């Protein structure tokens, strides 16, 4: 009979305790209430046992809600971490790509300049060869010679 006020007082305190101290306290309090419920049923205190069962049900629901919130928080944290990792990888990829593109542009510019210089050199060589082969003074054609004779 002395147990009734103590349990009622503990229930009121424990109602606030699980939210503050966490899941382990809820599980411990559920075990205490289940034991109290069995004792009350054995002693014939069915109303008190029913109240303890209702409180156990509330605590289990509260624990379930806390587990769900914890799971959602973990998933959110994992998603945030994955997004941050993805952004970091994306930025690293873009930096590497920009470096490669700059290196490619420098290399291609060098190749283009080299090719232009090679073409200029070949053109100069070809002009020199043609200059050696073709005399500066041209041989008059037969038609030109005929025109000169006619005049």
Domain parsing of the chain, residue ranges: 3-99
| Residue range 93-135, pLDDT digits in tens | 999 999 999 999 999 999 999 999 999 999 999 998 888 887 6
- For residue 73, how far is the Cα from the chain centroid? 18
Measured CA to CA, the distance from residue 129 to residue 131 in angstroms comes to 5
Residue 136 is given by DSSP the state S
Q: Quick one: 28 exposed, middle or buried, by C-beta within 10 A (0-12, 13-18, 19+)?
A: middle
Q: What is the pTM of this model?
A: 0.49
Q: Is the CA virtual torsion 89, 91, 92, 96 positive or negative?
A: positive
């Amino acid at each position: 009979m002395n147990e009734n006020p103590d349990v009622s007082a503990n229930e009121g305190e424990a109602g606030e305790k699980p939210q503050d101290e966490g899941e382990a306290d809820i599980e411990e309090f559920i075990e205490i209430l289940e034991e109290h419920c069995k004792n009350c049923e054995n002693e014939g205190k069915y109303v008190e046992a029913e109240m303890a069962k209702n409180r156990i049900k509330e605590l289990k629901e509260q624990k379930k809600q806390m587990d769900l919130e914890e799971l959602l928080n973990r998933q959110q944290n994992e998603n945030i971490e994955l997004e941050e990792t993805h952004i970091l990888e994306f930025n690293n990829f873009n930096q590497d790509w920009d470096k490669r593109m700059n290196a490619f542009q420098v290399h291609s510019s060098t190749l283009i300049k080299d090719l232009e210089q090679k073409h200029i050199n070949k053109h100069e060589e070809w002009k020199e060869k043609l200059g050696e082969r073709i005399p500066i003074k041209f041989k008059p054609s037969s038609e030109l010679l005929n025109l000169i004779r006619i005049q």
